Amino acid sequence: MASASPNQNSSLNHLLPPNWKTKITEWLQEDIPSFDYGGYVVGEKETTAILYGKSEGIVAGVPFFTEIFEQLGCRVEWHVKEGEVLKPIQTCAHVYGPVRQILIGERTALNMMARCSGIASQAHRLRILKDKNGFKGVIAGTRKTTPGFRLVEKYGMLVGGADTHRMDLSSMIMLKDNHVWSTGSITAAVQKAKAVGGFALKIEVECRSEEEADEAIAAGADIVMLDNYEGDALKIAAGNIKQRWAAKGRQVLVECSGGVTEQNIESYFCDAIDIISLGSMTQGVSFVDFSLKVQKNA
């Protein structure tokens, strides 16, 4: 089957930080903080469960799913690869272990797979539109992620072929309207940011006009975000900014954001835009449907 991204491979789990497994421990603790009443009913008999993919989408979240069951003393055997396109109804994996332990992990694992795969599927569809239109820039997510679940959601973006954008407040300095208003001016905000961020961190400034973009670039910003621009106004502004600063020997990245969706993103594609970011990659995204069924005669 086709994979989500031509650059996708099975080693994305090598990106995960050392503490990622503790997140899964916390998920399990949240779902069973005291007695396991249902587990008492079924006991510890060894059994097999099958993970079915029940709707179309991109498979994402494999290492998290596997770790959930490994922490419960179970074993997972996969029949699909991460990034693969699901054709429902499809057998994705077998889970082997004590029935009680499988049922403890069932809902946590399904919730994670549904959301991670939904985000990967959205990213994949956006990647197809980018390639179809020959857009040379970057399609990125945002920091509009679920608290405590960001690692999984950003992982899903990568599996689907999108850029994660900044991972957190420590990854890049982004100065938005509240930063500017609280500091007094774009120039003052950028100068203060540069004083602590040093050479290693890029600075991006949210701008509502070409004048604000010019002020940000003059102050030392690396990226300007044209927020809530639409159609020709966006393309004209981005082109003017690029041309004006290229004449002065400055190369600057231009990002657009605000109101971009899968349905309208093609109207934002142009050579003067380097990055298009979408909060809708994580907010309101449709999930991919999975189910985990214990085999009756196992």
Residues taking part in catalysis: 144
Number of Cα atoms under 13 Å in the Cβ half of residue 101? 19
Residue 163's φ and ψ, nearest 5 degrees, are: -90, 145
Token representation of residue 29: 């603790």
Question: Shortest CA distance to 234 belongs to which of 205, 276, 204?
Answer: 276
> β-strand 203-207 against 173-175: which pairing, if any?
parallel
Number of Cα atoms under 13 Å in the Cβ half of residue 48? 7
The SS3 assignment for 33 reads coil
The residue assigned the tokens 């120039």 is 187
Residue 171's φ and ψ, nearest 5 degrees, are: -85, -35
Distance of CA 280 to the CA centre of its chain: 10
Which string of b and e fits 132-159 if b means at least 16 CB within 10 Å? eeebebbbbbbbebeeebbbbbbbbbbb
Contacts of 203 (CB under 8 A, 6+ apart): 172, 173, 174, 175, 190, 193, 194, 197, 220, 221, 222, 223
> β-strand 138-140 against 275-277: which pairing, if any?
parallel
Question: Which H/E stretch holds residue 77?
Answer: strand 75-78
d(CA 238, CA 243): 9
